Structure 1
Amino acid sequence: MFCFQCEQTAGCSGCTKNVGVCGKTANTANLQDKLTGALIGLAKACGSNQKTENTDRIIIEGLFTTVTNVNFNDNTLEEMIEKVHREKERIAPGCVACISRCDNTDDYNMDELWNSDEDICSLKSLILFGIRGMAAYAYHGLVLGYEDSEVNEFFYRALSVISYDLSSDKLLETVLKVGEVNLKCMELLDRANTDAYGTPTPTKVPLTIEKGPFIVISGHDLKDLELLLKQTEDKGINIYTHGEMLPAHGYPELKKYSHLKGNFGTAWQNQQKEFDNIKGPVLFTTNCLMPVKESYSDRVFTTEVVSYPEMVHIGEDKDFTPVINKALELGGYEEDKKLTGINGGEYVTTGFAHGTVLSVADKVIDGVKTGKISHFFLVGGCDGARVGRNYYTDFVKQTPKDSIILTLACGKYRFNDLDLEDIEGLPRIMDMGQCNDAYSAIKVATALAEAFQCEVNQLPLSMVLSWYEQKAVCILLTLLYLGIKDIYLGPTLPAFISPNVLKVLVDNYNISPITTPEEDLKKILNK
């Protein structure tokens, strides 16, 4: 196998043995490559043939399936590959039987990418991993009935580019185009979520698990949470979010359910410890699933593109009866179970999306003008298991007391239970939501720049980001497309960024690897 798409890849260079660091086997990794090659063949077949909405969905679903920590099941991967092949045969029925074969629509051999020139491989990897992350956002929008033709069309173009013999300059153009289209995709998903569930409002979320039956729901899919809440109403079962589902508590149309009680545990990489002998079932709706331990293997359920061998999968009918029955069977804890965040806090606060923050924009602007707010730090991104991520906890603790910390995605679990007080009624830590809610941070930054009649790069705003998987990649590309500079990135730089490509990013955007909180803060504040 060869895989270097996530931050925890072996030796910071690539997983090449029988099992990847994420837990997927070599066969699973090879099948994901095969699926990607099939998607490239399908995309190229659609260049001169008529695609349909079903083709769009297959492309998006297939890309999402290959995101880290989504699918560990060889059987479902093989089924997905066959689905792609059937769609290609439907669209271009004459290709297989063609006497004068051109091979243009054949499945792409991913070894050609991995063994290509270092810089070409790096740029094409940025494109591939970026559209994998974007596909996750497009998928969530699609579930809620929202899609965009420009976003959908770009998946075909980007997949095709991976198989083309192009110069570095041309590939770099496509890399930045990924960022541009992803901005449109994040805007689409933001609209889908708020139209369906309302504008998030600040909400204090307890970490205590009340006695009695309960279900933990993990991932990003708000529609799955809504359906679960409806199916568990009046059944005496409490619902707790986990990981990236935490921001759901801020949406009015979800928080109205009285049995949506709180949040279970911390970030995704702690699940094997936190789910050990858990007294309730866990439903995974998207990525962030880890290899399942025996102590809770009988109570893990998957849905959508998530799949793991021998786990019960909830299909398209979305009948969560097996999950509900398991919750009633396990019965929950006999007494309230008090859990805490990483820093000992008993609750966390979420719901500071752009609608909320911009509603108090006058107060924020006045705080800057009067010197009560000295700086904004966007400390967000993925969490992970690699040593060194305590950097983000220490960084936040050491930020000036007159600064605001904007945060999003699961990296916030490193510090979101800290009590840093407030500034003139504004909390110093504002959780803006899931990783896709980077759109909220962009909206706030551009609004502040307009208010102060300056460029975003001239604001007292610094971005200190952590990455793990492909959704973080597409967000980074969006920030680069917008011309955002001086981003601090960690805990390590991506293995798929070659030295020459890194030089381009440093020269043009001044991207910096994180060092120590003390040194980076000194550099930022003395700028």
Structure 2
Amino acid sequence: MENKMFCDQCQETAGCTGCTQMGVCGKKPEVAAMQDLLVYVTKGLSAVTTQLRAEGKTVPSEVNRLITFNLFLTITNANFDEDAAIGRILDTLAQKRALLGQVSHAGSLPEAARWDAHGRAAFAGKAARVGVLATKDEDIRSLRALITYGLKGLSAYSRHAGALLQEDAEVDAFLQRALAATLDDSLTADDLVALTLETGKYGVRGMALLDKANTSAYGNPEVTKVNIGVGTRPGILISGHDLRDLEMLLQQTEGTGVDIYTHCEMLPAHYYPAFKKYEHFVGNYGNAWWKQKEEFARFHGPILMTTNCIVPPEDNYKDRLYTTGAAGYPGCKHIPGGAGEEKDFSILIERAKHCAPPAELERGEIIGGFAHNQVLALADKVVDAVKSGAIKKFVVMAGCDGRAKSREYYTNFAKALPKDTVILTAGCAKYKYNKLGLGEISGIPRVLDAGQCNDSYSLAVIACKLQEAFGLDDINDLPIIYNIAWYEQKAVIVLLALLHLGIKDIHLGPTLPAFLSPNVAKVLVENFGIAGIGTVEDDMALFFGEAAAPALTADMRVGEILEGKPEAAQVLMEYGMHCLGCPSARMESLADACAKHGMDVEGVLDKLNG
């Protein structure tokens, strides 16, 4: 198989050999091939359903759910099980056979709608011919990939909403029409650009649907301090995005002596009022998805992966890793159950009872819960802070975290921001800066965490409401900068949603998506101002007109603070810290030094940065 310009299973490794070897994501070539084929047959089924709708016929809701689930299963780092993909292919082909008989005019359907086969050998042969390189024209291939990845993200949000019995027939119909369109060789690049933007339109709708589903079931997120330490009882760690799975787990563990901890993108569950009644819902354990190997080993108890992002597990905890929903990994126990069904987590609960409590990784609290309803409740306070000049700019730093060293840029960028800026964040990108202790402005935290990646919808709502509050004609006149980290495929639908809303000058990093051809990238640059990132120093000058002095943070060493800002010594001594000449004291972080002296680190930071 020839080299690709990118791997459609793990997009960060531009220039990799395209699934001919196990890459960063860990998917084996045969797994990636079966997932490519699953996407292909799902597009074929979508062509059939789209034709049925054109003929005025009804598509069964279970077919809509099958198509959505198929796409979700193939999303980055969700499922690594070849048998699971083959099972979905067989189910999809069976549904297609049943529906094809209802089509009155099947002659115009694409080859994918008519293709059928049985067995691994036939599947493997076809998979080798239907991957991303099957489209030879570079620009058409790039646009089809952009649309397909956007639709995968839309499928994830639809699936989560469906778990709470919220569905949107128009979203399903569009998703299938757009999938079918990626098979249509008559569509030009201009046609596909228009479809790309339409995908963003439905991305907004899909995120709104999920927001409605979550808030209807669990209430509007509210400002919440979340414990990042551990208790003394055994625990179960739940990761991913599916709040319904968390609810069932909390219900089934109540009174069992087993505590529940969130991990990575499940952190925002703590912000929902409905979950606060569970006394055994202890806190958040660990950091972003890519630190799983070291952190899961130390948790000691069972881990439940409800969605992406799975890192291929180490042997020292693989037997404690369980999956459910679209997630899967060979050798790990899968908990069955579809939308509206009660899942049985008893196997995890019994296992947890015989495990040691989790090892402590860190102590303290982090604050979040700044979804649109909460921020809009503070709208007058926010507007006043902007009008007074206390807040000069907001910086949207949503998206994904990752293991690459280049992503340290986002930590350093957050540290370097002027003290009159506020970060708006959603997604696991927050783990690069949500524990820095950046302080507050007029009682408003400088990191406003709206929640999961799908809660980027909240950031869009906030921007639209601020536009209204300031009486601006153009949303791009707001004092908001967009500096977004991307990695996995749901980040694509967030980008397309922002473009649909008319937001321009979005910066993406650490690199622009590798699947964008030069011509497609040029369209995005010229029409929407899409750009990459530079160095922190260069971007500070670009965004703020001059290199800004970095704000001091709680994780900085006392000696580092004194070297960069000698006048800080007077402030620290006023607070009672008189041991600044001691070498050991200078090696402590400001947070540790303040804790030792009984000082409020946030108050100290406000004074130091004031």
Q: TM-score range by the shorter chain?
A: over 0.9
1:122 corresponds to 2:142: yes
Counterpart position of 1:451: 469
Aligned residue among 345, 357, 361 for 1:320: 345
Instruction: Compute the displacement of 1:516 (Å).
Output: 1.2
CA distance in 2, matches of 1:523, 1:103: 49
Counterpart position of 2:259: 238
CA distance in 2, matches of 1:513, 1:346: 35
Contact 2:139–2:520, Cα closer than 8 Å, also in 1: yes
CA distance in 1, matches of 2:18, 2:108: 39
Instruction: Compute the displacement of 1:305 (Å).
Output: 0.9
Query: Cα 1:112–1:307, aligned 2, differ >3 Å: closer, same or farther?
Result: closer
Instruction: Compute the displacement of 1:25 (Å).
Output: 0.5
Structure 2 counterparts to residues 425-440 of structure 1, below 5 A: 425-440=443-458
Aligned residue among 340, 360, 374 for 1:338: 360
Query: Cα 1:380–1:225, aligned 2, differ >3 Å: closer, same or farther?
Result: same
Larger Rg: 2
Flag the structure with more relative contact order, 1 or 2, with Cα contacts below 8 A and sequence separation at least 6. 1
Instruction: Compute the displacement of 1:100 (Å).
Output: 12
CA distance in 1, matches of 2:414, 2:431: 12
Instruction: Compute the displacement of 1:509 (Å).
Output: 1.0
CA distance in 1, matches of 2:443, 2:109: 69
1:387 corresponds to 2:442: no
What amino acid maps onto 2:397 in structure 1?
V
1:485 corresponds to 2:504: yes
Instruction: Compute the displacement of 1:44 (Å).
Output: 1.1
Counterpart position of 2:574: none
CA distance in 2, matches of 1:100, 1:328: 59
Query: Cα 1:490–1:99, aligned 2, differ >3 Å: closer, same or farther?
Result: closer
Instruction: Compute the displacement of 1:514 (Å).
Output: 0.7
CA distance in 2, matches of 1:407, 1:47: 37
Contact 2:41–2:112, Cα closer than 8 Å, also in 1: no
Query: Cα 1:40–1:474, aligned 2, differ >3 Å: closer, same or farther?
Result: same
Pick which of 509-518 and 464-473 moved more: 509-518
What amino acid maps onto 1:46 in structure 2?
T
Instruction: Compute the displacement of 1:13 (Å).
Output: 5.5
Aligned residue among 35, 38, 57 for 1:32: 35
Aligned residue among 214, 227, 233 for 1:212: 233
**SS in structure 1 opposite 2:513?**
coil
CA distance in 2, matches of 1:44, 1:6: 23
TM-score for both structures, normalised by structure 2: 0.82
Equivalent residue pairs, number:
518
CA distance in 2, matches of 1:36, 1:481: 25
Instruction: Compute the displacement of 1:218 (Å).
Output: 0.2
1:60 corresponds to 2:68: yes
Contact 2:236–2:261, Cα closer than 8 Å, also in 1: yes
Instruction: Compute the displacement of 1:380 (Å).
Output: 1.3
Counterpart position of 1:418: 436
Query: Cα 1:191–1:100, aligned 2, differ >3 Å: closer, same or farther?
Result: closer
What amino acid maps onto 2:45 in structure 1?
L
Structure 2 counterparts to residues 4-403 of structure 1, below 5 A: 4-5=7-8, 8-12=11-15, 15-49=18-52, 50-93=58-101, 103=111, 105-107=113-115, 110-111=130-131, 113-165=133-185, 166-316=187-337, 317-333=342-358, 337-340=359-362, 346-403=364-421
Instruction: Compute the displacement of 1:8 (Å).
Output: 4.9
Contact 2:41–2:113, Cα closer than 8 Å, also in 1: no
What amino acid maps onto 1:23 in structure 2?
G
Query: Cα deviations across residues 19-61 of structure 1 (Å, max 9, x unaligned)?
Result: 2321001000100011011101111112333421001000000
Contact 2:292–2:311, Cα closer than 8 Å, also in 1: yes
Contact 1:243–1:268, Cα closer than 8 Å, also in 2: yes
**SS in structure 1 opposite 2:537?**
helix
Aligned residue among 487, 500, 521 for 1:468: 487
CA distance in 2, matches of 1:116, 1:378: 36
Query: Cα 1:524–1:325, aligned 2, differ >3 Å: closer, same or farther?
Result: same
Counterpart position of 1:511: 530
CA distance in 2, matches of 1:7, 1:38: 21
CA distance in 1, matches of 2:108, 2:231: 68
Query: Cα deviations across residues 367-404 of structure 1 (Å, max 9, x unaligned)?
Result: 11111111101111101112210111111111111111
Query: Cα deviations across residues 166-222 of structure 1 (Å, max 9, x unaligned)?
Result: 110000000111100010000010010000000101111111111121000000000
What amino acid maps onto 2:485 in structure 1?
S
CA distance in 1, matches of 2:219, 2:102: 48
Pick which of 357-366 and 323-332 moved more: 323-332
Contact 2:47–2:110, Cα closer than 8 Å, also in 1: no
**SS in structure 2 opposite 1:116?**
coil
Contact 1:8–1:21, Cα closer than 8 Å, also in 2: no
Instruction: Compute the displacement of 1:439 (Å).
Output: 0.6
**SS in structure 2 opposite 1:4?**
coil
Query: Cα 1:178–1:346, aligned 2, differ >3 Å: closer, same or farther?
Result: same
Query: Cα 1:332–1:339, aligned 2, differ >3 Å: closer, same or farther?
Result: same
CA distance in 1, matches of 2:100, 2:243: 36
Query: Cα 1:435–1:102, aligned 2, differ >3 Å: closer, same or farther?
Result: closer
CA distance in 1, matches of 2:397, 2:475: 16
Instruction: Compute the displacement of 1:94 (Å).
Output: 7.4
CA distance in 2, matches of 1:376, 1:55: 43
What amino acid maps onto 1:422 in structure 2?
E
Instruction: Compute the displacement of 1:14 (Å).
Output: 5.5
Query: Cα deviations across residues 381-437 of structure 1 (Å, max 9, x unaligned)?
Result: 101112210111111111111111111100100110111111111111111000000
Instruction: Compute the displacement of 1:91 (Å).
Output: 1.2
In the TM superposition, structure 1's runs of 4+ consecutive aligned residues that sit over 6 Å from their partners are: 98-102
Identity level (%): 44
Query: Cα 1:247–1:188, aligned 2, differ >3 Å: closer, same or farther?
Result: same
Counterpart position of 1:499: 518
CA distance in 2, matches of 1:303, 1:256: 25
TM-score for both structures, normalised by structure 1: 0.95
Instruction: Compute the displacement of 1:227 (Å).
Output: 0.2
CA distance in 1, matches of 2:110, 2:438: 63
Instruction: Compute the displacement of 1:5 (Å).
Output: 3.3
Instruction: Compute the displacement of 1:11 (Å).
Output: 4.1
CA distance in 2, matches of 1:464, 1:100: 44
**SS in structure 2 opposite 1:122?**
helix
Contact 1:59–1:155, Cα closer than 8 Å, also in 2: no
Instruction: Compute the displacement of 1:441 (Å).
Output: 0.3
What amino acid maps onto 2:490 in structure 1?
K
What amino acid maps onto 2:361 in structure 1?
L
